[in-house]
Amino acid sequence: MPPNINDYAVIVGVNHYAELATLKGPDKDAKRFQDWVIDENGGYVPADNCYLVLSEKDSLLPIQHTIDQCFGKIIAQTNRQKGRRLYFYFSGHGLGLSWDDTALVLPPWSNIFRNYALSSGHYRTTLIESGIFSEIFFFFDCCRNRKVAVNGAPPLFGNVIPAATAGACRSYVYSASEFTNQAYEALIQSESGSLQEDGIRGIFTESLLRGLRGAAEKDGKITSLSLANHLERDLPKIAAQTKKVQVPNIQGHHADTTIIDGLTVNITIVQITFTINGKKAILEDSDLNVLKEGISDVNEPWTVELHKGLYTIYYENEQSLAKPIRIDGTLKKVSYGI
């Protein structure tokens, strides 16, 4: 299958700031998102259509011009002809401007240069009014708490007039937190119970990539709606693992747009080990259908293949000690004990 030659991406990760706290996750998260964008089983955007911008230690880069040059190259590549889809991902510090506008903070930001940030709302409007894209997906892994007298800058590129086709553009904004609230990064525990190996990451990006890699699959597709539903369920659970409270905010076109189609429904191999001998064990799905039952043996674990969903394993007449099993479709193999 050929790549999506009419798709583009601008991906920004900012760890380092002049006055704000240094972050540990954005550069890795931006690279991880880029990996999905260009993956044949992901966004499948040609590498030449994908622009990655990262901050530099002991530097005040990137500035707005650096990022806007990426958009300018995309506009030049399309020659203002119709493209299909644009992904814009930002991870770093953010500030809430309004319910639908976030200041995406850049490295030179300080208490003096309080407006050194991009206005997500202005970028959204300008990109829609360019008429270039049929679909635009915005992913913002940053806080949206308020700070007095802060504004975000509009893009340096612009349109002479709004394109006649602007109204047909479908746009979706997936933000890491609700307006006035914070977003967090953390050392995240995986579904199998182990800590992730590549260190601290953004909670939002972790949930986002879980969804895009299969956890948001429904009927062989990942859509704008199935991704939103996944984030609303999954992100607060990941946050709770790190003793945080974080709820995503999603704004978008009313239509449900397919992001990835033709997915194979993932199957996870689940190994269930027992700590008690000689009791009847029962595995049920979320509709209370019995999938497997038998006498427990501490030396003989069960191996079962499960689709994405919620399951329960318990000993007969001891439902109060039941062990929930949650399969998100992203892992090939997991283990549970009871």
Q: What is the pLDDT along the chain (338 residues), one digit of tens a residue?
A: 678 999 999 999 999 999 999 999 999 999 999 999 999 989 999 999 999 999 998 889 999 999 999 999 999 988 767 889 999 999 999 999 999 999 999 999 999 999 999 999 999 999 999 999 999 999 999 999 999 899 999 999 999 899 988 889 999 999 999 999 999 999 886 655 555 556 899 999 999 999 999 889 888 899 999 999 999 999 999 999 899 999 999 998 778 999 998 876 678 899 999 988 999 999 998 888 899 999 998 999 999 998 888 899 999 888 777 888 888 777 788 888 88
Give the Cα-Cα-Cα angle 65, 179, 93 (nearest 5 degrees): 40
Give CA separation, 128 vs 196, 201, 225, in Å: 37, 30, 20
Task: Give the per-residue pLDDT at 195.
Answer: 58
pTM of the model: 0.83
Give the Cα-Cα-Cα angle 227, 228, 233 (nearest 5 degrees): 100
| Residue 40: HSE in the Cβ half-sphere, 13 Å Cα cutoff | 2
Task: Give the per-residue pLDDT at 141.
Answer: 98
How far is the C-alpha of 77 from the C-alpha of 73, rounded, in Å? 6
| Residue 223: HSE in the Cβ half-sphere, 13 Å Cα cutoff | 13
Tell me if 203 sits within 8 A of 219, measured CB to CB.
no
Radius of gyration of the CA atoms of the chain, in A = 22
Q: Is 24 exposed, middle or buried (0-12, 13-18, 19+ CB in 10 A)?
A: middle
Which helix (H) or strand (E) is 7 found in, with range? strand 7-13
Cβ neighbours, 10 Å, residue 1? 6
Task: Give the per-residue pLDDT at 218.
Answer: 83
Task: Give the per-residue pLDDT at 33.
Answer: 98
Give the Cα-Cα-Cα angle 89, 15, 57 (nearest 5 degrees): 130
**What domains are defined for the chain?**
7-260 (3.40.50.1460), 267-337 (2.60.40.10)
